[in-house]
A and B are shown apart, each in its own frame.
Chain A
Amino acid sequence: MTDIVTSVPVPSNKISPDITIDVSGLEKSLRRPRTAFNYIMSFLTAAITIIALIPLLSVVLTLVVRGGQRLSISLFTQLPPAAFEHGGGFGNAIVGTLVMVGIAALISVPFGILSAIYLAETAPEAKLSYIVRMCAKVLTGFPSILAGVFAYGTVVLVTGGFSAIAGGIALSILMLPTVILTAEEAIRMVPSKIREAALGMGATQTQTVWMVLLPTAFPGILTGVMLAVARAAGETAPLLFTALFSNYWLISGGRFNLMQPTSSLAVLIYNFSAVPFQNQIELAWAAALILVLIVLTVNLIGQSLSRK
């Protein structure tokens, strides 16, 4: 307890005969309100941080414990069970999630990268660029369910049925802003010397973009795509009434059909969490564990790409 002393040894309170300074205010002691306040606040902050971390760690722990119980190969190969059945799995939901995220990536990645090239290279200072950036930021905070509402209005009502395509389009809207903003950032990070060298050698702007900027910015762009994929894979709300759910494989009668209701891991968790059957609830936990593993793996790979 060396730093909590009751009085500070002061050599002299008097600097000159006329001026006296009260140095007792500088004393570092728990009896001083200033110091005591400091200790109390530090303690409170530490306590709050620990309290905040408990639920976060508890989510992870519960997932591992309850989801881990049901992990087996049959989860990946079997179809969801009916109400009173035992066993079963969610192979079709994993395939469905991958297919729909794939469709979403096919739409949003070229779209996003071309917009990003405009923002970073063609006209960074143009008025349109500011508007596009604002739109991308607005889309970032866009409630995911509204992407579902949009896809319902444009695809489900037009084609007359729930489908994997509708789900993919809903997800692509959520992926787009992440792809645009991170790709723009990545292209801007390319040192301007490299760019100028290419232009100075006589390359056209298109050649500069394709042969110099995009290859150099590739890790950064890939990070953005991975983050967007990770987000899309976990989204439930936009799939609820665009892809709906299905208890069967996407391939029906030997034909790969994207225009039918499609199951996904996230919707499976939602549906099974509301039923009173133990088997389904266990499957929901196992699906949650696998979904989180997929999302975190993609996320970590994405982050590690840009860290180098």
Chain B
Amino acid sequence: MSGPLALTLAGQGGIRLYAVDALATADGLRPGMLLADARALSPDLIAMPANPAADRAALARLAIWAQRYTPQAATDGTDGLILDITGCTHLLGGEERLLTDLADRLGRAGLTCRLAVGDTGAAAWGWARHRSATAGPVLPTGTRSWVSLLSLPLAALRLDEGVCKDLARVGLRSVGDLQRQPRAPLAARFGTGPLRRLDRMLGVAADPVVPEMATPGWQVHRAFADPIMTRDAIETALLMLLRDLSIRLEAAGRGVRRLRLTCLRTDTTAQNISIGTARPVRDPQGLLNLFRERFDKIDPGFGIEMMELTATGTDSFTGEQAGLAVGGGDAFAVMGLLDRLVNRLGEDQVGHPLPRDTHRPEQVMELVREVEGKTDTGTLCSPTLRKLPACRTAADATTPTSPWPKPQPTRPLPARPRTWAMEGPRPLLLLHPPEPVQVGSGLSWRGHYLPIDWLEGPERIRPDWWRARIGPTRDYYRAQLADGRRLWLFRTVDDRGAWYLHGLCA
């Protein structure tokens, strides 16, 4: 293909040039020109439509390819890659040789490139694009690079075109010009943008590289020659994945807390199911059992062609050792039970009551999720969740004195548990939200009239003064109905004086 080449894109006022090659540049064509004008300047111009989305995807693929040099590789703008090669250069024998290697490989792939190495990403960006033709690609380290950087044109700071023009109008043309200006008036006139870019270029401010794709630490996948559809096949495949993962986890001494299974179907849709565990686990069979409860959620459609298993949360594995402790086997059985319950019923449905330090009766008992391992907000009590009570031991097996001993009921002396101690009477079953009732000589509740035997109270419970949303103070009463039921009622201490049923007492 001879002759100048340009890629075009529909733009304002018609089709405009998107990118031009060297020959076209020599003919005076610039990106942004109307195609009609370009044809007038260069009659033998070959114009082809541009595809920016594909360009971006190709660049992202290139960034992932560049992870051969460093894990910290990312795309930079629409036409650049940035590689954080800190600590990686020795693998190829230094920065120069890394650049040579990179240039060779890109050249063989038919890509032209401009490379630069600098202390910061911004410096490397500017040096790659705007250095003079005679300068080498590698900048010296530290402040010794400043001489080179300060001689660059302002465009090397990667500023917006408008800002660049404004700065040029006041006579600032190079990075050095900008650096020598007092900062405060400059910021007042042009915003903090130019200064921030300058600081990042000179290494005064941080300029981190966000890698294109965080390498997933714990991911295994398996593609199938034929799409699978049956439950058995999915289960077998999952077990193989779990075994693969388990081997890697075992090598690292870790267990999973959260797992995500992604099923990629032939119709290019993906389905996810996630499980969580209360303690680090890596037993493939046990994990498979947890997934089994969720298998109904998988719809294979026309078949699953790939399965991907990602451990989104891992923890150091302490399992087997802890099992040796007294009663540990039972405690682990309970943990396993909790995992199964949580994964089938849902995390919100399985809870562990914890007392809260508040006056509001409905907030005194908080249900803490079993999986979380901590309370969400606002609890003043110690969040000791995984501390299950000690499991029952052999202590309740009394030693028999005769071959057929008379069963001796054992019963430790009960005592009021301290953490839940309350001053007044409290209901056994709490209604939340409270139900409105009418109280006269008797109680009207849901259309039934219930005569009251006696009423005990009031116990005044104020809202928590240290919280912002303050409801009315309540006067609580315990009432006994004529049929023997005992109820817990309150009356709001405000203008309405409304009665509510808040619980059933034992």
Note whether A and B form a binding pair.
no
Residue numbers of A with Cβ under 8 A of B are none
